[in-house]
Chain A
Amino acid sequence: MAMLQREDPLTARAASRVPNWMRLVNGPQTLGRGSLFWVGFALAIGAAAVYPAFADGWSVGNTAYFFCWVFMALGLSLIWGYTGALSFGQTAFFGLAGYTYGVVTINFGAAYGMTIVGVLLGVGMSCLGAALLGYMLFYGRISGVFLGIVTLSTTLVFATFMAQTAGSQWAIGDARMGGDNGMTGMPPLTIPWAGGDIALYSGVPLYYLLLAMLVLCYLGLRVLVNSRFGNVLVAIRENPHRAEMLGYDIRRYQLIAFVIGSGLAGLSGVLYTAWGQYISPSNMDLAAAALLIIWVAVGGRKDLTATLVGTLVVLGIFQNLTIYGSYYAFVIMGLLLVVIVVYLPEGLIPGLVRLVSRLRKRKEGMS
Chain B
Amino acid sequence: MEYIHFAFTAFYQFGDAFAFLVLSAMGLAVIFGMMGIINLAHGEFIMCGAYVTVATARMGVPLPIAMLCGSLAAGILGIVLERTIIHRLYHRPLDSIVATWGISLILTQGTLIVFGSSMSGISTPLGSFSVGDYTYSTYRMVLLGVAVLLLIGLYVLFHHTTFGIHSRATIQAPHMAKAAGIDTGRMYSLTFGLGAALAGLAGALYAPTISIVPTLGANFLVESFVTVVVGGADVFLGTAPAAATLAVIKAFLTGWQGQLMGQVGLLITVMVVIRILPQGLSGWLLKGRS
Contacts and interface: CB of A to CB of B under 8 A. Distances in A.
A157 B259 CA distance: 11
Contact of B229 (A150, A328, A335): A150
Given A145-B38, A337-B98, A345-B95, A287 B278 contact: no
Nearest to B94: A86
Nearest to A343: B88
Contacts of A142: 274, 278
Contacts of A327: 109-110, 112-113
Interface string B217-237: 010011001101100000000
B89 interface: yes
A149 B225 contact: yes
Contacts of A148: 38, 94, 97
Interface string B115-147: 000000000000000000000000000000000
Contact of A157 (B89, B97, B263): B263
Q: Interface extent on B, as a size class?
A: 35 or more
A137 to B, nearest CB: 8
Contact of A160 (B92, B97, B226, B263): B263
B62 interface: no
A330 B105 contact: yes
B103 interface: yes
Contacts of B260: 157, 160-161, 164
B35 to A, nearest CB: 11
Contact of A297 (B98, B113, B270): B98
Nearest to B273: A140
Contacts of B99: 337-338, 341-342
Interface in A123-143: 136-137, 140-142
A317 to B, nearest CB: 15
Contact of A141 (B108, B110, B278): B278
A286 interface: yes
Given A157-B264, A160-B263, A345-B95, A146 B229 contact: yes
A270 B94 CA distance: 30
A337 B105 contact: yes
A50 interface: no
Q: Interface extent on A, as a size class?
A: 35 or more
Interface string B75-88: 00000000001001
A157 B278 CA distance: 22
B3 to A, nearest CB: 34
B102 interface: yes
Contact of B103 (A144, A154, A333, A334): A334
Contacts of A152: 221, 225
Contact of A337 (B88, B101, B110, B221): B101
B226 A293 contact: no
Contacts of B278: 140-142
Interface in A323-367: 325, 327-328, 330-331, 333-338, 341-342, 345
Contacts of A294: 102
A156 interface: yes
A338 B102 contact: yes
Given A145-B38, A160-B263, A86 B85 contact: no
Contacts of A145: 36, 38, 93-94, 97
A319 interface: no
B271 interface: yes
Nearest to A333: B105
A334 B93 contact: no
24 contacts: A145-B36, A149-B228, A153-B226, A156-B221, A156-B222, A160-B222, A286-B215, A286-B221, A287-B108, A293-B98, A297-B98, A327-B109, A328-B109, A331-B105, A331-B106, A331-B110, A334-B102, A335-B106, A337-B99, A337-B102, A338-B106, A341-B98, A341-B99, A342-B85
Interface of A: 86, 136-137, 140-142, 144-146, 148-150, 152-154, 156-157, 160-161, 164, 285-287, 290, 293-294, 297, 325, 327-328, 330-331, 333-338, 341-342, 345
Q: Ordered nearest first, which 9 A-B pairs have the shortest CB separation?
A: A334-B105, A337-B102, A334-B106, A330-B109, A140-B275, A338-B102, A341-B99, A334-B102, A327-B109
Given A149-B38, A328-B109, 7 more contacts: A145-B97, A148-B94, A154-B267, A157-B222, A286-B104, A327-B110, A327-B113
